[in-house]
Amino acid sequence: MSSLKAVTGVTPDDYSSGGEPEKYGIMAQLYNLQKASSFKVQGVIEGKNVITLIDTGATHNFIDEELVNKQGLNTEALSGFRLKGVDDSSIKCNRKISNLRIMFEDYELNDEFYVVNMKDTDVILGFRWMKSLGEFTMNLNAMEMKFESAGGSVVFRGICEDGTSESGTRVVSLKRMESLFRHDEVEWAAECFIMSANVSSFKAVAVLTGSEGVCGVVNFCQDVTGSTTVNAKISGLKPGLHGFHVHAMGDTTNGCMSTGPHFNPHGKEHGAPEDENRHAGDLGNVTAGEDGVAELSVTDSQIPLSGPHSIIGRAVVVHADPDDLGKGGHELSKSTGNAGGRLVCGVIGLQG
């Protein structure tokens, strides 16, 4: 029978933030929940106690720049890498540590960390680390995480309600996480994402109806990183490209015309899915073959199924013509992509 090791720490008293480094790193996933989605434990880096935030909203790991400098930790330079907020503001991240060792009592962690100026917390462990664990369970009400390691079962627990560790170290209130990632007048939003042993994603579906002979189904699945994968199959289309968007309203009382404009919570111009300046609902085109069938599978970070900018209750619309992705020079290019009439649409609803 494997031994049981408990790593005790502290719990925050409000909200948390997270991040996703790729070419751009997302430093906040917004989910507007009422309970904390993270907790803190105490680890050790080269003999120094460090406060570590375990955060289900962060897909990668981060370490405080001041801690790195004080400890003289070896880093690697990064080029062309930025941390990006949900409002599309960003700051540059210049360094990372490819293999940092942190001890949590008998449990040893070795992983990659991105160096950022966090001020009030030392380390954030995100989904990159969680994924390496394989199966694990997390009870956010009990502030407890369990997983198996080579040495046996490990339990991480957050235990102190007053924001202090057993050693008396003050831990940042997560009410202050909004200011935790401030740098060069960039203010990071900080809300939270919840994950448990039973809920690791959100799912939704839209059934497309409208023009005679055209129909389809669009499935959405949001994973724990906050990105949403869209799988669509539409039949009865004219061969070629057709604009494919999320529109702001789920109102179909006047057919697809009453679904409003493209979903655009940040007040941007129309663009391609890969553009920085785009509507959140800009998903580009679907391509119908000679048989009139179009299939699409794409993952996007701007169409969450939960939080203040959720697309639940909004509508998916397929257009008669190609979307010029804001680059066609037409008077409608920067608002609709000049994608023509609305063929079919469907309201996006949550699935159980």
Where in the sequence of the chain do the CATH 2.60.40.200 domains occur?
202-350
Using 70 as the pLDDT threshold, list the residues of the chain that sit under it: 1-38, 56-59, 80-91, 119-120, 140-143, 158-201, 224-225
Residues identified as active-site: 245, 247, 262, 270, 279, 282, 319, 342
Mean pLDDT of the chain: 76
Residue 196 is predicted with a pLDDT of 30
Domain 202-350, CATH: 2.60.40.200
Residue 158: what pLDDT? Answer: 65
Pairing of strands 107-116, 62-64: parallel
pLDDT of residue 225: 67
Give the contacts of 150 (CB within 8 A, at least 6 positions apart).
none
CATH of 4-180 among 3.40.50.720, 2.40.70.10, 2.30.40.10, 1.10.10.10: 2.40.70.10
Please report the pLDDT score of residue 126 as a whole number. 80
Say how far apart CA 94 and CA 175 lie, in whole Å: 27
30: burial class by Cβ within 10 Å (0-12, 13-18, 19+)? buried
pLDDT value at position 324? 98
pLDDT in tens, 320-350: 999 999 999 999 999 999 999 999 999 999 9
Could you give the residue range(s) of every CATH 2.40.70.10 domain in the chain?
4-180
Q: State the DSSP H helix or E strand holding residue 316, giving kind and residue range, or none if neither.
A: strand 315-319
Angle at 24 (CA atoms; ends 52, 129), nearest 5 degrees? 35
Rounded Cα distance, 263 and 283, in Å: 11
